Amino acid sequence: MKRIKNHIDELFKDIPRNKETEMVKQEIIQNLEEKVFYLLDQGKEQEDAINKAIVEFGDMEDLKKELGVKEPKKKNMAKLNLEFSIWGSGLIIAFFIFINLYYTPQTIWAIYPIFAILWWPLSMYFVWSRKKWSE
């Protein structure tokens, strides 16, 4: 039954440890072990019984809500991505202009990749504006 204990320990790794969570954890382990013994009495192999008990237990979302564990808020990275795309595309454009003027000043070819590079900050702008208006 060590596998059940390890599985429950893995599920509880993000939940703060206190007396209540430890009691709930021990109760879940006990219930799963009872389920395994019941399935063994029904004629299942031990490995199958353990797997079935773990699968039937499900996920921890309802239990987290009951214990009052709050999910951490995700940071809005859209603004940072927009700034990164502006700086990155600016550096790439400067590189293309330098290469164009240094090696082939008589032919202006850098404008073509510059138009392609400008799609990056433009797309990040639309992502940022959509996140900004949805808040």
Can you say whether residue 130 is alpha, beta or left, with left for phi > 0 and alpha for psi between -120 and 50 degrees?
alpha
Per-residue pLDDT reduced to its tens digit, 57-89: 877 777 777 777 766 666 778 889 999 999 999
User: Angle, nearest 10°, between helix axes 19-41 and 46-57?
Assistant: 140
- The model's pTM is 0.50
Per-residue pLDDT reduced to its tens digit, 105-124: 999 999 999 999 999 999 99
Could you tell me the residue ranges of all domains in the chain?
Answer: 2-67, 78-134
- Distance (Å) of CA 58 to CA 13, 35, 47: 16, 14, 18
Q: How big is the CA angle at 24 (ends 51 and 59), to the nearest 5 degrees?
A: 45
